[in-house]
Copies of this chain bind each other. A is one copy, B any other.
Amino acid sequence: MSDSGIKNMEQFAAISGISRPTVSKYFNDPDSVRRSSRERIEAAIDKYNYRPNIYAMNQNRAMTKNIGIVVPLLSDTYFAEIARNLEQHCIDAGYRPTMFSSHGDPKFEVEILDNLRSLKPAGVLIAPLGRASNRDVLEKFCEDVPTLIFDSKVGEIGIEFVGSDNVQFARDITDYLCRSGEPPCFFEMKTPANPNAHRRRQSYLDAMASFGFEPQVISIEGEGWAFEEIGFRGANDALARKLFSTNTILCSNDRLAIGFLTACYENGLSVGRSEGDAIRVAGQDGHRLTRYTCPPLTTVSHNYEAVSLQAAKALFAAIDGEENPWKSTRIEGKLILRASA
């Protein structure tokens, strides 16, 4: 019964006994028509299952109800999780979200922005690739479309920036590791895709300095987004070369840490904070699988819900015309203590 013979709003309006423009108003905001009209329209909708043609709706409208959600990599559970949260917030607010993944490639990112323009979105939520992003394209896009950048800050552009407080992440976990055992070294990619990695490293250095400990940073080779593999190889290599001056490793992120744990396992190093353990390993991000590594990984978790809610609300406010000065909102993470450190 999905096609009940009603082809357009004209016919639907005729059958429900209301003028077409009133029906049009109803679909844009059910509360903008008289109660009696609304009831008649809704009865007719139930009866004939009519939906307006979405293309005709949007073609002559300055701004649609579409919102684009762009992340660097949907197969990364962190981004999948936050994208899911954002999607729900958009739906709840009456928007039509569409998700896009840059697949770790700046060319795709540019292409997505290009396609997004033609969708005439009311707004866009984007987690840029970071270092690899085309800043000019992104900046131009922000000028043309209400855009909120989250996760990785790329200049002071867009409505505002919302992300995690990576300084606090690294400070708190460094603090914890120093108090509970040997001071950690910092294990990271030499050329990380994501600028947050730099903040975490710097915060680690600052924390170590404030405690009066000598810091050590191990920067490993590797390009791309296969962090587990990069961490695994890097750890194997560093272990073979006995690079570590401490038994405690703070990884720049959880996925590197997962690779690190595998290297420890294959090198016969027992990971943990107990007497007989050889090494302590911690991560950062609160990756969903860190609970199930062996041993479970000590980490700092993003506050997914707070980040996505803040990002969504700020975008909606901007769409509604609120003019606020650019700002950066950084949300604290939560230390999660597990057996690995």
Q: Which of A55-84 contact B (CB under 8 A)?
A: 55-59, 74-75, 77, 80-81, 83-84
Give per-residue flags for A42-58: 1 if the beta carbon is below 8 A from chain B beta carbons, else 0.
Answer: 00000000011111111
Which of A181-189, A238-246, A290-298 forms part of the interface with chain B? A290-298
CB distance from A197 to the nearest CB of B (A): 20
Is B228 touching A292 in the complex (CB atoms < 8 A)? yes
Docked CA distance A80–B74 (Å): 6
Docked CA distance A265–B296 (Å): 9
Q: Which of A86-112 contact B (CB under 8 A)?
A: 87, 96, 98-99, 101, 103
Docked CA distance A57–B118 (Å): 11
Docked CA distance A53–B119 (Å): 8
Docked CA distance A292–B262 (Å): 5
Indicate whether A2 reaches chain B with its CB closer than 8 angstroms: yes
Is B56 touching A296 in the complex (CB atoms < 8 A)? no
CB distance from A39 to the nearest CB of B (A): 22
- From A99, A101, A292, residue with most partner B Cβ within 10 Å: A292
Chain A interfacial residues counted at CB < 8 A? 46
Indicate which residue in B80, B119, B259 contacts A54 across the interface (CB closer than 8 Å): B119
Give per-residue flags for A276-296: 1 if the beta carbon is below 8 A from chain B beta carbons, else 0.
Answer: 000000000000110111111
Indicate which residue in B81, B228, B258, B292 contacts A232 across the interface (CB closer than 8 Å): B292
Is B74 touching A118 in the complex (CB atoms < 8 A)? no
A53: B residues at CB distance < 8 A: 59, 118
Is A265 touching B289 in the complex (CB atoms < 8 A)? no
A259: B residues at CB distance < 8 A: 292
Docked CA distance A2–B81 (Å): 33
A2: B residues at CB distance < 8 A: 117, 140, 144
Docked CA distance A103–B99 (Å): 14
Docked CA distance A84–B81 (Å): 16
Indicate which residue in B56, B77, B101, B289 contacts A59 across the interface (CB closer than 8 Å): B56
Indicate whether A261 reaches chain B with its CB closer than 8 angstroms: yes
Is A265 touching B294 in the complex (CB atoms < 8 A)? yes
Is B262 touching A294 in the complex (CB atoms < 8 A)? yes
- Beyond contacts A52-B118, A55-B56, A293-B294: 8 other A-B pairs, Cβ-Cβ < 8 A, are A2-B140, A55-B58, A56-B59, A84-B103, A259-B292, A261-B294, A265-B295, A293-B293
